[in-house]
Structure 1
Amino acid sequence: MSQSCINEVMSLVGVVVVGLLALGVIGAVLTKLSVRRGRSLPYVVQTSLNTPAEQAFLGAVQRAVGSTSLIACKVRIADVLQVRFRKRHGRDQRWWRYFRLISAKHVDLVLCEPRGGRILAAIELDDRSHRRGDRKRRDRFVDRAFASAGVPLLRFAASGRYDAREIHERLAPYLTTPEEGSVTCPNSRSTTR
């Protein structure tokens, strides 16, 4: 192939790349403008927060913990764990690298104190999808992340039926009792009893 043909191909590739970049920028600008102008956004409600298996398990966990804990469903891991060190500046890539690892992952349930909201434990319901290689890698990472933060992460195998007593036995070491002391909210001056 002659040098002039190579130059023409390279010029054509450059034009295509610039064109694609321009289309991306135009698309982003148009989307931002449509959002600002109050046009409807392309979202619809999910039919249910939990799958039927997750809902059945949640019912059993609710029976198991009673009033000793609040239960939160589908909690983003970045709302349970935080990166130990602080961002030094907006472009601190070390902080962002660790934050991104937890920002888009969730755990099925989080148990909290009913007064004050202190996190007691997290729970994962492992169904068949957790046997896949990518899920195994994800689960190993999540296990390590929770262990490094000192937050118990308990895994339960998905099944057709759940025994609330068995669940309670596994959760009992992490549950609080209603008689435990008052908790002061860190962002207010109020104390609950």
Structure 2
Amino acid sequence: MTGTLAYVAQAFGENSRTGLAALLERPAALFYVVGVVSVLALALRGLRAENRVGYRRGRFLSANEKIFLRTLDAALGRGYRAFAQVRLAEIANPADSANVHLRRRALNAVMAKSVDFVICDVLTLDPVAAIEVDDRSHLLPERRDRDAFVNAVFAEIGLPLLRVKAQRTYSVAELRALFARVDLCVPPPTHGAPSCDSSSSPD
């Protein structure tokens, strides 16, 4: 086999046509070359697979978050729409600054965080408030630092951030009372109920 390969290699050294003719004259050498190429291809594929981690479908919302969202939708009625797991960078943009480094740092800080729910006006889809459902993890020191940062960002952009303690069930009435604290107008779900911005004046 060594002599055959040497012969084929010498033929390719002259020119490609002579090399191909020599390779076809000796099928054993052709099979050997194909085998070597296949082994190299499999090896390269294996190296690439080691440098890449695949994906699997993740969990979008926890069971508790789904329960809260259903109650939230019922409490909001038709005037608002709730969005879940919204990236903070979609709500808060870094202010203009000549310092590119500081601006990039500010952007990275909001890019890496999200809020549980954002309430938007159903017509304009502009955010009017946000909600964080705090479970026991928010008692951890690192979570407290994160929450303090998020609170400061919402205060700076002037958007109400409501915090609700995580529990097994939620009340529509309690959520409506929470909305009232930030002047979020949610009319009662009754026929013929007056809108929140209407005023009753005597004739």
Q: TM-score range by the shorter chain?
A: 0.5 to 0.7
Instruction: Name the SS for the 2:137 alignment partner.
Output: helix
Matching of residue 45 in structure 1 with residue 53 in structure 2: no
Corresponding residue for residue 101 of structure 1 = 109
2:149 and 2:142 map into 1 onto residues whose CA distance is: 11
Matches for 1:1-193 after TM superposition, within 5 Å: 42-46=54-58, 48-85=59-96, 88=98, 92-172=100-180, 173-175=183-185
Instruction: Name the SS for the 1:49 alignment partner.
Output: coil
TM-score with structure 1 setting the length: 0.66
4+ aligned runs moved over 4 Å, structure 1: 176-180
1:170 and 1:117 map into 2 onto residues whose CA distance is: 21
CA radius of gyration, larger in? 2
2:111 and 2:186 map into 1 onto residues whose CA distance is: 28
CA drift of 1:42 comes to: 1.7
The total of aligned residue pairs comes to 140
2:195 and 2:53 map into 1 onto residues whose CA distance is: 48
CA drift of 1:169 comes to: 1.5
TM-score with structure 2 setting the length: 0.63
Tell me the amino acid that sits aligned with residue 132 of structure 2.
E
- Would you say the 8 A contact 2:77–2:186 is kept in 1? no
- Would you say the 8 A contact 2:131–2:163 is kept in 1? yes
| Percent identity over paired residues | 31
Higher RCO (CA < 8 A, seq sep 6+): 1
The alignment yields a C-alpha RMSD, in angstroms, of 2.6
